[in-house]
Structure 1
Amino acid sequence: MVFAPDTEANLRAAADLVNTGRRRDGHDALGTVADLDAFYSGWGYTTRHDHDDDELAQVRAARSRLGSLWTLERDAVADEVNAILREAHAVPYLVRHGSTDWHLHATVPDAPLSTVMLVETAMAAADVVRSDEWDRMRTCEADDCTAVLVDLSRNRSRRFCDANNCGNRAHVAAYRARRTGD
C-alpha cells in the first residue's frame, strides 16, 4: 500500500468518476440519475444523495474539475487543492463507520455529493502532493485514450487505464506483432 486506505480509495473513485466521461466508445457512463445512483452505491458513499438531475449536473461539473487535476503540474495541483478545500470550508475530522476503520472526512454530514467528491479527492491529492508522488497520477498511454489512472503499483509500472480495456488491447497488439515477426 502506497498511501492510507482512504486516500487510495478516494483516488481510485476520482479516476473512475473522471473516466465516466472519457470512454473510448463516446458513451457517458454518468449520463443519467440511475448511472449516478450506481456510481454512488458502487463506491460505497454514505453521504447525502438527492437522486435528481440537479445533483447529476453538479457531480458532472465536479467530474470536469477533478479531471483537470491530471493535466496540472504538482505545484498547480497544490493551488487547486487549496482552492477546493477553501471553497468547501473543509475541516478535516476522523470518523469510523460500518466496517471502515478511522479515516478522514472534511465536509459536513449533509454536504452535497459533488462537494464530498471534490473534497475527498482534494484531501487524497494533498497526500500525493505532500509525498512528492504526483507522477503516479497519469493519463492512459494508449494512443486513442484520454482516460486517467492512479498508479499504485510498487514499481510504478502501470501504463494503461481500466476504463477502456487498453492494457488488454496493447497486449493483444504486441502479441500479434510478435506473431507476424515469426
Structure 2
Amino acid sequence: MHFAHDTELALQGAADLVNTLSSDGDTLVTQDQLDDFVARWGWSGTIRHDDVELAEVRALRPVFRQMWELEEEGVVDLVNRMLADSHALPRLVRHDDWDWHLHATSDDAPLATRMTVEFAMAMVDLVRAGELGRLGTCGADDCDDVLVDLTRNRSRRFCSTTCGNRIAAAAYRERQAAADA
C-alpha cells in the first residue's frame, strides 16, 4: 500500500518521537534536542523554543505510543479525541518544497498541537485503508521501540538497522558456536 508523502512522514516522525523515550533513556530533554528533532522532521510554523513547548511535546509520547498498543476501536476513539481536542480543520496548503498537502491547524498553533493533528490525520489514513498492521514494535528482545512498516511486503522487523544488525550478528555468532561444538 502506498500512502501520501505527508502521511508517511507523519507516521515515521511520530514513531521517532515515541522512541525518544525508551528503555535506553530519554533523548528529548533539552531545547537543543527538540530543535534538532523539529529540523530533522521539517516542522514548519511557529516554534517558541521554550520549556513549556518542550514539556508539551514530551507529553505527547505516551499518548502517541497508545496507537501501537490499541485495537482498531481504541485507535479510532483516540484519533477522534485528538482531532476534536485540537479543533482540527483540514485545509490544503503548499509551502517550501511541498506540493499540495493537508494541514489541519494554523501555522501558529502550538507545536504539540500541530504534531498531534498531523499524527491523527495520518492515523485516519491507516484506519481507512485497514492498515493498522503497519504499526509494530521492534523484533529485538531487548528493544521496545516502535516502528512503521512501509515496505511493500510488510517485512520490517526492527526499529533500526542497529537492532537488525545486532540481532543478525548474534545469530551468526550462535550458529558459529554451534558449528564449532
Same fold (TM over 0.5): yes
Report sequence identity in percent.
56
Secondary structure of 1:165's partner? helix
Pairing 1:103–2:98 present: no
Following superposition, the deviation at residue 67 of structure 1 comes to 1.2
**Partner deviation per Cα, 1:124-161 (whole Å, 9 max, x = no partner):** 01100110000110011211111000000011010110
Which residue in the other structure is 1:20 paired with?
A: 20
Letter in 2 for 1:15: A
CA distance in 2, matches of 1:48, 1:67: 25
For residues 37-116 of structure 1, the aligned pairs below 5 Å read: 37-116=35-114
Which residue in the other structure is 1:165 paired with?
A: 162
Secondary structure of 2:69's partner? coil
Structure 2 unaligned spans of 5+: none
- Higher helix fraction (1 or 2): 2
CA distance in 2, matches of 1:84, 1:47: 19
Letter in 1 for 2:153: N
Q: What is the Cα-based RMSD across aligned positions, in Å?
A: 1.2
Letter in 2 for 1:168: N
Structure 1 unaligned spans of 5+: none
Which residue in the other structure is 1:133 paired with?
A: 131
Q: Which runs of 4+ in 1 moved over 6 A?
A: none
Pairing 1:9–2:9 present: yes
Which residue in the other structure is 2:29 paired with?
A: 31
2:174 to 169, 174, 177: 177
CA distance in 2, matches of 1:154, 1:168: 21
Following superposition, the deviation at residue 63 of structure 1 comes to 1.8
- Whether contact under 8 Å (2:44, 2:107) holds in the other structure is no
CA distance in 2, matches of 1:102, 1:172: 44
